[in-house]
Structure 1
């Protein structure tokens, strides 16, 4: 990207679009430095691209993660895929390391240029690319991006306890991003024979595998394997992944496919949201009417869990924001809020005050169940609003 941006600065290229899920590094072109030469199209807003989107210098494609490859393929013609990789093995295969996501779906369908890094773990699955399929590569020995596990508080652990109590031995898990999903991983240490088929591989997984909690022996697909589509954590996670045959990274087209997930018995989806209304709709990608992230794989996994035999879909959140002054259980969403997970797909909503089971429930039953897990300081107001709206 340094070379491409330098070419844009010199005026040597024009009309180039960079398609990326989650940008981690700030660059001038993201701020509109070369608008007719180099622009950015995001599929998930990060801390870096969020202000650029607001400023109008980054564009966002709404999506489900399982469909990102298809969207990029539809929008591009003969794309050049720039990816990080581990050094080639003795058979001439590079590994895309901590990433498979949409990138691996382009193997055999697009041109690749690799940044080869000996610090990148060699991982297995459908993320191998042969030297004959690569147009070129450079070496870059930079340290991999690391994300420290989020700090957990008492509310996170309380919510984690509610969820862990409802997960049976032998279940197959997907956990999303955030403090509460991490707390849930730590609350599963006494479970047995869990499987993992998830989008994100994080540090919390390492302990469960090393403790023997996760072994995948009851999985239907990829039995005994931990399956993910990308990994983000600390060096401990990356060292755990290196040449670990128990872990496989597959494309998001496979990992996030609700049709595949639905055939996995006792599939459990766990994801966080920002707000839930009385119907059970979840606003997981906007904050105060402005885009904060995107849908990611939340809907993919929730739908898979909904159709799985014995499946469960958990949506987790603290009951309040802004030090208790704002309820995150709301009567209706404000204009501009985007519904990520629909009322027809939501299953269980969990706060520190309990679990609201919404599947197959009436509107009246949903509103009452959600008010019961709202913060006590807000329940009177929420009850008043529910009556005003005719929900209770």
Structure 2
């Protein structure tokens, strides 16, 4: 049987794919833009036929009815490695829970706890040799596919064909569903004035020949725009972004001085605009590799001059970072923050950078009024999750400057962090630190 015949023998309809799902199944779906939108958009339609289906996901891109509408909670329970707005909102319905994790161990620990019997993902069009590409994520997908009893992939011609651990042969897939819809995009956030100031501070810490990791949002985008004049940068990152495309096209990224996979831009997933997806398509200079390897701190540390750049929501005066919750309320996830922050500090001449705004404008509880608060605080908000231990914090950057915490005592940290807090809050921070005996 030739590969096209093999493909055709595994081709099923959407309705047939949904019929494969049974009560009690443990399903894992691909991450972010690699998730199978058509199957997930229609999963709720079998709610009367199934019960107690458990679904593990990561950064879902749509507000799918199976978790958004609480009337389906007897049929589906969703557990996520990283919350996006839709699943964050659904949490209150009682049919969603968070999975604490470091990204490089997310898949491994999950299937050790609860073996997956169904994997749902996506792939680009099959080539003449029978190979498809998992396209936009190899974070945990390949590991789960190898363990799952049933693998169903939506094959979408709009997905870019990427190289690395995304390659899979048709013989290793149980069923395919042909689809044709636009790939989910993440709008590019234009940097604000504060973002640009923070971006300049961070760019000053990045030396020529560094290998960098960037996240998403205004601050990382501002950093990317400030790095265009750097020379011979490399990429070893959790997430491949639009900013990296711009840096490559500017000539700042060459990868020639990388100590690990020189010349290759390395990531474990990609998420962004159509411009990014077009850049990735059939581009052998980008390797999308297994997150268990890419995000392993020991692997990250093998890069010379590794610089990780992450953001946080709130930091206390000793350096503890809350990057994923607002008080006790889960907002996003730890993701790869600890992986990359620790890994960068294992690197020869490496640096880990945590960025945050000095203030936030928040709603006063029980009213429509808003007030400005400091994001550097004497103690974290009650119930806040510590995403990055103070033991693992290196450089901290706000629009008011840079604090180097490596090797410092609590007394030194208090002073350094107050110096980069908003001026309106510095005296109050000193007073509260003294009252609490933080020294």
TM tier, shorter chain? Answer: over 0.9
Q: Which residue of 1 aligns with 2:182?
A: 143
Asked if structure 2 preserves the Cα contact closer than 8 Å seen for 1:104 and 1:250, the reply is: no
Q: Which residue of 2 aligns with 1:191?
A: 230
Structure 1 residue corresponding to 2:90, chosen from 52, 56, 59: 52
Aligned length: 390
Query: Which residue number in structure 1 is paired with residue 79 of structure 2?
Result: 41
Alignment of 1:66-77 (within 5 A): 66-77=104-115
8 A Cα contact 1:281 1:343, kept in partner: yes
Residue 115 of structure 1 pairs with residue 154 of structure 2: yes
> Does structure 1 retain, via aligned residues, the 8 Å contact 2:100–2:334?
yes
> What's the TM-score once normalised by structure 2's chain length?
0.86
2:105 equivalent to 1:82:
no
Helix, strand or coil: the match of 1:304? helix
Instruction: Give every structure 1 segment of 4 or more consecutive aligned residues whose post-TM-superposition deviation is greater than 6 Å.
Output: none
Alpha-carbon separation, structure 2, partners of 1:157 and 1:348: 18
Deviations 1:148-198 (A, max 9, x none): 211211111111111111111111111112210111011101111111010
Secondary structure in 1 aligned to 2:126?
coil
Is 2:68 the counterpart of 1:21?
no
In structure 1, C-alpha distance between the alignment counterparts of 2:95 and 2:46, rounded to whole Å: 19
Secondary structure at the aligned position of 2:183 is classed as coil
8 Å contact from structure 1 (residues 178, 272) kept in 2: no
Q: CA–CA distance in 2 between the matches of 1:75 and 1:143?
A: 34
- The structure that is helix-richer by fraction is 2
Q: In the aligned structure 1, how far is the partner of 2:402 from the partner of 2:45?
A: 53
- C-alpha separation in 2, matches of 1:337 and 1:20: 23
Q: CA RMSD in A?
A: 1.4
Aligned to 1:367: 414
Q: Which segment is superposed worse, 104-113 or 136-145?
A: 104-113
* The one of 29, 49, 53 aligned to 1:12: 49
Distance 2:72 2:377 in 1: 42
Asked if the contact 1:29–1:38 (Cα under 8 Å) also holds between the matched residues in 2, the reply is yes
Q: Is the Cα–Cα contact under 8 Å of residues 199 and 226 in structure 2 kept in the other structure?
A: yes
Alignment of structure 1 residues 1-392 onto 2, 5 Å: 1=39, 2-8=41-47, 11-30=48-67, 31-110=69-148, 111-322=150-361, 325-392=372-439
Return closer, same or farther for 1:279/1:114 CA change in 2, 3 Å cut-off. Answer: same
CA distance in 2, matches of 1:314, 1:231: 21
Q: Residue 326 of structure 1: SS of its match in structure 2?
A: strand
Under a length normalisation based on structure 1, what TM-score does the superposition of the two structures give?
0.96
2:327–2:385: 8 Å Cα contact kept in structure 1?
no
Query: 1:118 offset after TM fit, Å?
Result: 0.5
Determine helix, strand or coil for the equivalent of 1:229.
strand
Contact map agreement 1:107 1:129 (CA 8 A) in 2: no
Tell whether the 8 Å contact from 2:311 to 2:323 is kept in structure 1 after alignment: yes
* 2:237 partner SS: coil
